[in-house]
Amino acid sequence: MERYGARRLRMTIWETTRNGQLQTTHLGSILFILVMMDACVFCRVSLKNGEEITQLREKGCNTVNRTSQTRNDTIVTTPGQKVHQKCRRDYINANSIKKDMREKDVSITEPTLHAISGCDTTSRMFGVSKAATLKKFGEHDFLKTQAQLLCNANAKDDVISAGENIISSLYNGAPYEGLNVLRYRKFAARVLTNKTCVQIHTLPPTSNAASFHSQRAYLQMKMWMNKDNLNPCEWGWKVANGNLVPVTCTMDAAPSKLLNIIRCNLSIADTSEKRFLLIPDVFLEDWTSWSSCSASCGNTGERHRTRGCHTTFGTIHWTKCRIGGEQKEACVGICPQTTTATTVLLGTWNPWSPFSHCDKTCEGGIQIRHRTCVSGLCIGDSLESAACNVHQCPVQSTHAASTTQPVTTSATTGTQWASVTTTTKATTTHKKFFTIRSKE
C-alpha cells in the first residue's frame, strides 16, 4: 500500500440531515482508503509513476465534484490538487459515466437476476437464458426498477409482485400485464396458428407457480447477502421425507370444467370445434358462397365453400383456422340452357341382395351380389364380388390290375413265372415286381 500512497482506516461518519439533526452512520468493518497527497484521487496510484499530471483549478474542481455526485462517488477535490491528466479526462467523460453507472446497476441487482433466472437452488425458466436476462436488463428500465424493488423488498407480497413483473418482462410481456394474462394471450395466439397441439411447457408460468419461484429467488439472494435468518418453509420450500423440496404450485393443473371436457370418453358432438371454442373471444365467420361446379355440362362434380375465424387479435385465414375449414358437396355441371348448378341430393342404398351361385365348383370361383340406389346420387359401388369354392378339385378314383407274364431266364431251364401288379393313381403308373417262383 505504501507505493500507492494510501492507508486503511476504520471510520464512523457523521452526517447532517435536512432538519439539522446529526445522524450517525456506523460503517463497521468497512475499510476506507485515505489518499495521501502524493496519490491521484481517481486511480489511487502515486503521482510519481511518470504519467502526465495536471493541477485542478476551481472550475475543474466543480466539474469533478458534480460528476462525483452523478456517479454517487465519495471523491471530493479542492483547487490546487494534482491528479493524473488522463484520469481526470476519463472520469468526467459522458460515455465513461454511463458505462460505470450501468456496471453499478448490474452489480447492485446481480444476485437478484442470477437467482431469479436460475441457479443451483432455483430452477431456470424454459426458454430464458442468462445471456437474454442480462441483455434485457440492460435495455429496459422497467426491469431494472423491478429488480431493485425485489432486492429491497421486505414483505412477501412485494416480493411476489416484483418477481412476477420481472418474469413477465423476460417473456416479452407488457409492463404490469401479469403472467396469467400473458399466458392466455400466447396460448390463444398459438392455438389459432399452430397445426399441432400447443406444448404447455413453452408458455410462461402461471402467476401461482411464479410466486413460489420468486420467493425462492428472494431467499437465495438474502443468503448470499449473509441474511440467512429466513425460514425456507415460509419462502417457497417445504419438508418432504426429511428434505427440503420446492413448492411448485398450489393450484390444479387445469380447471375442473376443462378436465371434464378432455376426458377420453367424450360424448359431445363435434369435439374439436367445441374444444376450440372454449377459448374466449374466438368466433367463427359466416360461410362464403358456393364455388362453381368443377364438372362440365351434365357431369357430376363438386363445389366447395370456406369460412375462417377471428379473435380480438385479428382474423385468421380459413387454411390456418383449424375449425373453420372447408365444406364440399356433389353437384352437376351447368349446361348452356341452365343458369345455375344443380345440387345432387345424396340417396340411400337398398339392402344387399344374396350372393349368387358360384361359377365354379372347385379351385376358386366368383359369386356376386348387388344393391340399388334410392332417390338420388349414392356414394359407393352397386356390385360386390367374393371368392368361393377355393378348395382343390377331387382326384380320380384309384384301381389296381394284376397280370401274370412269363419270364425267360438263363439261370434255370424251363419257363418261370412272375407276378406283376400295376397300380394306377391319377396319371402315375407304379410297377412292383415280386419274387420269381418256378413252375412245377
Listed by start position, the domains of the chain span: 2-76, 101-246, 257-343, 348-388
Instruction: Single out the residue of 164, 166, 156, 165 nearest to residue 233, CA to CA.
Output: 156
Q: How many CB atoms lie within 10 A of CB 161?
A: 19
Residue 228 has pLDDT above 50, yes or no: yes
Neighbouring residues of 376: CB distance < 8 A, sequence distance ≥ 6: 344, 345, 346, 347, 348
pLDDT (average), residues 318-335: 67
Across 299-307, average pLDDT: 81
Query: Residue 172 CB: number of other CB atoms within 10 A?
Result: 11
Tell me the C-alpha to C-alpha distance, in Å, between residue 93 and each of 6, 53, 68, 89, 386.
Answer: 26, 18, 12, 6, 96
Phi/psi at 114 (5° precision):
-65, -40
> Which residue would you say has higher pLDDT here, 314 or 199?
199
Torsion sign, CA atoms 191, 192, 194, 196: positive
Confidence of residue 160 (pLDDT cuts 50, 70, 90): very high
What's the one-letter identity of residue 43?
C
Give SS3 for 108: helix
- Determine the Cα–Cα distance for residues 248 and 212; give it in Å rounded to an integer: 7
Predicted local distance difference test score (pLDDT) of residue 375: 67
Measured from the Cβ of residue 226, the count of other Cβ atoms closer than 10 Å reads 7
Residue owning grid cell 432455483: 122
Q: Class of 348-388 per CATH?
A: mainly beta
Return the pLDDT at 182.
Answer: 92
Strand partners, 9: 32
Higher pLDDT, 360 or 260: 360
Q: Residue 108: count other Cβ atoms within 10 Å of its Cβ.
A: 14
Q: Which residue has the higher pLDDT, 131 or 422?
A: 131
Q: Residue 335 is which amino acid?
A: C
Tell me what percent of the residues of the chain surpass a pLDDT of 70: 62
Asked, colleague to colleague, whether 257-343 and 348-388 share their fold, the answer is yes
Question: Which of the pair, 78 or 228, is modelled with greater confidence?
Answer: 78
201 SS3 class = helix
How long is the chain?
440
> Residues 332, 295: contact at Cβ < 8 Å?
yes
In this prediction, residue 106 carries a pLDDT of: 55
Using only the alpha carbons of the chain, give its radius of gyration: 48
- State phi, psi for 328 to the nearest 5 degrees: -130, 150
Q: Between 305 and 281, whose confidence is greater?
A: 305
pLDDT at 265 over 60: no
Angstrom distance (rounded) from CA 77 to CA 55: 11
- Quick one: cell of 164? 412476477
Mean pLDDT of the chain, nearest integer:
70
Query: pLDDT-based confidence at 212, cuts 50/70/90?
Result: very high
Would you place residue 1 in the very low, low, confident or very high pLDDT band (cuts 50, 70, 90)?
very low
Q: Are 122 and 115 in contact (CB under 8 A)?
A: yes
Please state, in angstroms and rounded to a whole number, the distance separating the CA atoms of residues 429 and 437.
Answer: 24
The whole-number average pLDDT for the span 57-86 is 79
**CATH-assigned architecture of domain 257-343:** Single Sheet (2.20)
Q: Name the DSSP class of 337.
A: T
Higher pLDDT, 409 or 262: 262
User: What pLDDT is stored for residue 95 in this prediction?
Assistant: 58
Q: What backbone phi and psi angles, to 5 degrees, belong to 63? A: -65, -45
Task: Report the alpha-carbon distance of residue 280 to residue 93 in Å, rounded.
Answer: 55
Q: What is the mean pLDDT of residues 208-215?
A: 92
CA distances from 4 to 34, 35, 51, 64, 81 (A): 11, 8, 14, 21, 17
18-66 pLDDT, tens per residue? 343 334 333 333 333 344 457 888 777 888 777 888 888 887 888 877 7
Q: pLDDT band at 97, cuts 50/70/90?
A: low
Name every residue whose Cβ is closer than 8 Å to that of residue 161 and which is 6 or more positions away in sequence.
none
pLDDT, residue 210, reads 92
Average pLDDT over residues 283-306: 79
CA distance 360 to 104: 98
Segment among 171-175, 199-203, 261-265, 379-383 with least mean pLDDT: 261-265
Q: 50 versus 269: which is more confidently predicted?
A: 50
Query: Exposed e or buried b for every residue in 49-66, given b needs 16+ CB within 10 A?
Result: eeeebeebeeebbebbee
C-alpha cell at position 173 = 410481456
Query: What's the average model confidence in pLDDT over 165-186?
Result: 90
Give yes or no for a contact between 389 and 365, defined as CB atoms under 8 angstroms apart: yes
Least confident of 22-31, 79-88, 170-179, 280-289: 22-31
**Tens of pLDDT along 361-370?**
887 777 888 8
Contacts of 167 (CB under 8 A, 6+ apart): 116, 125, 179, 204, 205, 210, 213, 214
The region of weakest confidence among 88-92, 169-173, 341-345 is: 341-345
